[in-house]
Structure 1
C-alpha cells in the first residue's frame, strides 16, 4: 500500500513539474510573440505601414491601427470594400476595385501606388499591396496585404524629377552639348544640342548610337580613351573629335567629363560637355600649316635666310646659306657676321646694316658683293631678338622684268583679241547667215554674186577669228577625229607665206597614217609655233621637214622620252638650224626660257606646244645637235577605230523640223532674230529670250519646250551653263544646244563633258545650225 501511494505521488509530482515547464514555455512563447508584435508595430509606426485583410466569406475588411492613422480615421475595425474604396481619390477607385477583383477571381497579386483622401480633403500617396490566401483545400479564404504611406518618398521622387527637368532645361539652354553617364560609362543623358546637331533620335544615341556620329577615324581612339577613363576612374577626361552633322559634314568638338564620387571615393556618375571648336580647330590647323609651310619655305626658298642676335652672331641659317658659302650650319652658327663675311666691313653694306639696327626700321637695298654671283638684294628686318637678313641674287632680275612686261603685253593682247572675237563672231553670224538667206531668195544673178562675195568674206573673217582665238589661247580643247596629213597639206601654203622664201619646206607624209583624236585648231597653232621657232634658228635660210608616221608604244618599250603605252600619230618638225646646247635641252619647255637673243623671243612657244600636247593626252620630245639642227616630235593619240569622219555634202537637203518647240536664248538682238527666222522657216516653233532670267520665266510657264538653244556667255547674272542646269532641273528630258563666239567658258568643263555636249560655234550658217538642231532631236528620238 505504501508502494502504491509512493508511486502515485511520484507520478503526480512529475506531472505537476511537466505542466509547470509547459506553462513556462508557453509564457515564454507568448512573451516572444508579444515582443515581435510590438517590434512589428514599432516598425509599422516608424515605416508608416499597416496590414489589412478582406474576408471572402463575409466580404468585410479589417486592418491594423496604423492604417487608421495613415487615413486619419477613428477606430473602425471592419468595413466593406466599397466603404474602404471611398477613402481613395475618385480617379484611383476603379484601379483598386479592379485589382481586388482580379486577385479574388484570378489569384493575381497587386502592388499599386494610389492617392487617398485625408483630413481637410487633401490627398496623400500610399502603396497598396495585396495577395490571395488559400485554405488547405485550395479554397480562397481572403485577400490580405499591406498599406504604406509613401507620400514623402513620392514627394522626394517629384523633387528629383523636377531637379532632372531643371537640369535638362539648363543643359538644353547651354551653348554646347551636355551629357552624363553612369558609373560604368554608359550614356544616360544627352542635351537637345546633340539631337539637333546630328539629326539622330535621343533613344538611338543612348543605345551607344553616339559612337556612330563620331568620325570613323576618331571612333576607335574615343572608345579607347573613354574606356580607360572609366576603368581607371580618372579625375577628368578630355578629348577632341569630329561629330557628323545631319547635313553630312563634320565639326570638331572638345569633349570633357568629370566623375562624381561618393563618400568612399567611388565613382557614381559622370557629367560632361562637348564644345564646338571647329572654327578654333581650323584656325589652329591653318596656323600649324602656316608654321610648317614657313619652315619648309625657309629651307626651300632660293634666297639665303639669316637670323642674327643683337651682337650680330648667327642663330639660324637655311640650306641656301650653306650652298652659297659651301659650309655647314654647325660651322657658322654662333659666329659673327663680320667674321663669316669679312668683305662687308667698312663698306656701305655694313653702314646700312648698323643704321637699320640702330633705328629699328626695316630696310632693303641692292649691293654688289665679292664672292657672290653678281648683284645681291639685302632685306634687313631688325627686331627685339636681333636682326633677320634675306639675301637674294638679283642678277637676272632685269631680264625677268622684261619677260614679265612682255608676258603682260601678250596677256593684254589676248584679252583684247578674245573680247573682239566674241563680238565679231556675233556680227559674222548675222552677215554670213543673211548672205546665205539672200542667195536663196534672190533671182538676179548679179545680186546672187554679191551675196556670195559677202558670204565668202564672212567665212574668211570667221577663219581669221578662230586663228585669233587660238593665238590668244582662248579656245577650249574640243578633240575630234582628225586626218593629220590633210591638215598639214592644207596648212602648207600658210607656212610658206609665214616662213619666207629662204626656208625650204618639205612634207613627208605616211600614206597609211592613222586618224588622230585632237583639237584641229590647236594642232595647227602648235605646228605653226614649231615652224616659226625653226625659222628663227635658220636666219640665213635652211630646210624644214615635217614628217608623219604611226608609232605603237608597248609597255616593255615605255621609258623616257617615249610616251606612255598606246598608239600615236607622230609629227616631227626638223630644221637645219643652229641647234640647242645640251645643258639647255631640259629647260626648253619651261615658260620664258629661250636661247634667242634679247628681244627676239618670249620663251612661250615651246611651253604652249608642251601644254597643248600634254592636255591632249600625248607626249612631246626634242632632240638637238649644236650646228646641225633640231627635231621636235609630237605624239598625238590615235582615234578609236570606226570613227572616221564622213564628209558632209553641203548640197544635201537639211532635214526640216516636225513642229518641235525651241527656246532660243541670245543677248545679241540681230543674231537672235536671224536664228529664230532660220528655225521658223525650217518648220520649228520658236520662242525667244534675250537673257537667262527671261528664259527661265518662259520655261516655267511653257510646258512644250523640247530644245534649249542658248549662248554660253550672256549678261544678266546667269550664263548658258547655269541656265541649262536650272532648265534641266525643271524639265529633265529637255535637250540642250550651246553656242558661243568665245569658247573660253568651255574651259571649266571636263573633257567628258565637252565630248558629250551639243555645241555649235559662232559664226554658224543656216545648214550648220539646222544640222546641229536636228542632231539633238535625233539623239532624243534614239
Structure 2
C-alpha cells in the first residue's frame, strides 16, 4: 500500500532579499522578531509534533504488541513452538490498554474514526475474553478472534492514515513558517532546515516501522494454511481469507464472495449433500458441522475439502445470521487413502483368486493366521480347523523335523528365505506333495513378525517325475535288449550255420554207428553240446524279440495241461505242482513253443528258489485291465487279457534283485547253475507278443510272476493238442537246395537224400535260378537260406515262383533279419525251419510243406 510523503522532497535555496543596510537591519530585526516568534511557535508546534509522534508511536507499538500477542496465541499449541499462550494474552491485554490511552489524549484523529476504532478495540477485547473463557468451541472461537483481529487492524490502519495526514498538515504549516523565517533571518532558515531534516528522518523511521508492522501482520496471516470464511447470512456476502484463494489457485477476488459462487464450485455428486448440511446449520438443526466434499480449482482439478463451520449468531427464531468456518485441503490425504484402498483391494483380489495357496504364519510357533481359498482346497481343511492348527501338524511325520529346521533357520535370518518341498497330510488322509516359498516380515530389529508363504500342489509333477524315471528305466532296458538283439542277430546266422553242420554230421555219424562203438558216446556228447549251444542262441534271440515264431490261436489251458508231465519231472518229486485253470478262458495267439519256454524257465527258477520241499502253483484266468490300472503302471494298456501266473513259496527276492532279474546274464545262482538268460527269455517272449509281465516277491515269502497275454478273437486251434505222428519219407520229390555256406549245403543235401528226396544244390541265388531254368523235370520244393549275398531268400522265392508257380518254398535261417518276418513273427503263409535243425526236424518240416496246397 503506497503512502504520501510527510514533507516535500525539493530543497528551497536561500535568497538575498536586499542589500540595503536598512533592509538588512530591518530584515535582521524582522528576522529576529519573526525568528523569536517562529521560535516560540516552532517550540510550541514541535512540542505538539512530538506529542503526536509519541502517541502515534504508542499506537504502533500497541499494534506490534497486538500482532505479537496474536502470534503467541495462534502458534502456542505445537510442542516445539517457541511461543507461549500466557505471554500472548499479556501482550494482547497490554495492546488494548495502549490503544485506549492513545486515543484518549490524541487530537489528530477524526471523531468517527476514533469511535469506530474504540468499538473495534472493545469487540476484540470481548472476543479475547470469550476465547479465554471458552464459551464457544475452539475452532469457532479461533475464527471469531481472527476476524475481530482483522477488523481491529483495519481500524488501526484508518487511525494511522489520519495521523499521517495530521502530521502532514502540521509539517506543511511549519514549512510555511520556516520559509517566511528563512526570508527574514538565517536563524529562522537554519531552524526550519533543522526541522525539515529532523522531520525527514522522523518520516523514514515511521515508514520503516510501518513496513515492519505490515510484514509481521502478513507473516502472521500466512502462518496458517487453512482457508477462512465468514458468511453474513443476512446480506448473503462471504469473506474468504487469502489462504482460501490460494488453496483453489485463484487470485484474491477470483470469484464473487457469495454462497452461490461457492456452490457453483461444488462437485455435482457432492452439491446436494453439502448444501443440505449448510441449510441444516442455518435452520438450527445442528450447531456446527463437519463434512468432506470436492471443489473445482481454477485449473479444473477437483480438490477434496474438509469443511468445518458454526453459526455464531442467530435471530430470535434460531435462524443463523452469521456463520464462520474453515476449509482444509485434504486432496493428498484422499489420494493416499484411495491408493491404500486400491492396494488393499488388489492384494485381497490376488490373495483370494491366486492359483496357488497363500498362507500367513506366526513364525514363533507356526500358527496359521490367514489363508486363501486355494490353500483350503489344497489341504482339504475348513477355516476353523486351520485356525486351530500349526503348519507342522499337517506336515508328514517323516518330513516334519527337517522342515522345521529349515523354517527355523530362515526365521533366524541364517538363510534369506524359506524354500522346501515336502509332503502334506490332507484332511481326508491322502498324502500330497507341496512346494513352499516363504518370506518373512521383520521389525526394525530384524525379528520376524509374520511369514507369508506360497503353497503349490506339485503332486502331479512328482508323479510325473517318478513316471519319467520309470520310463527312463524302461528305455534303458529297451536299449539293453536292443544291444543284445544286435549281438544275437550278428552271431545267430553264422553261429547257427556252424552248429547246423556239427549237429548234422553228428546225427549222420550216430546213424551209421552201433551204440557199442567206442566213439558212439563221444558223438552223443558232441551232439548234446551243440544242442545246448543252439539253445543258448535261441534264448538270446527270444530275449531280444528276434526269435522267429509262428503264432497261432491257442487254448492256454490245454497248452499248459499238455506241459504238466514235463514240468513235474523238471521240478522234482519233493515239490508239489498245483494247476488251477480258469473257466471259459479266452483264446490267445502265440507260438506254442514259446509257452513251453515260459513255463520251463519259470518252473526251473521256482525249483531253484525252494530249498527242500515246497509248492509251485500255475493258474490262469481272464482279466480286464481298466484305465485306473494303466494309469498306475504306464506299461499297461487297457484291454482284455488272459493271465498266466506262476507262484512259489521259496526264499523270495528283495527289491534290488527284482529290479535286475530281467537283465541278460543276471543270475543269483551259483557258478555253473544258470546262464542268466532264463527270465530274460521270458521277458522277451512276453514283449514280443504285446503282453506284460509283473513280479511280486518278498524275502522269505516267495515269488509270483503274472503274465498278461492279449485276448485274441476267434476259436482255439485244436491241432495243437494232436499227438506227434511218424514223419513220412520222401518219394523222390525234387528239392532245390540253396545255401551259401558250402559245408552246410553238403550236409543238408545229404540229409535230404537220406530221407528219399532228389536234391539240386546251389551256393548262390543266381545258380539256383539257372538250375531252375535248366532242370527238365518238376521242382517240388525250394529250400533256401534267408540271408545270402546279392539276393535274399524271399526275393529268390518270388523269382522261382514266376518260373515255376507250382514250386513250394521253405525258408531256413538262424536269423531272419525281417526278410520273412516282422519283429520275429513270420508273415502269413510263410514256412520256416530254424537253424540249427536235426535230420528229423528237417524231414518233418519238408514233409509238412509238401503236404500243403499251393
User: Shorter-chain TM-score category?
Assistant: 0.3 to 0.5
Quick one: higher RCO (CA 8 Å, sep 6+), 1 or 2? 2
TM-score by length of 2: 0.35
TM-score by length of 1: 0.38
Q: As a proportion of its length, which structure holds more strand?
A: 1
Q: As a proportion of its length, which structure holds more helix?
A: 2
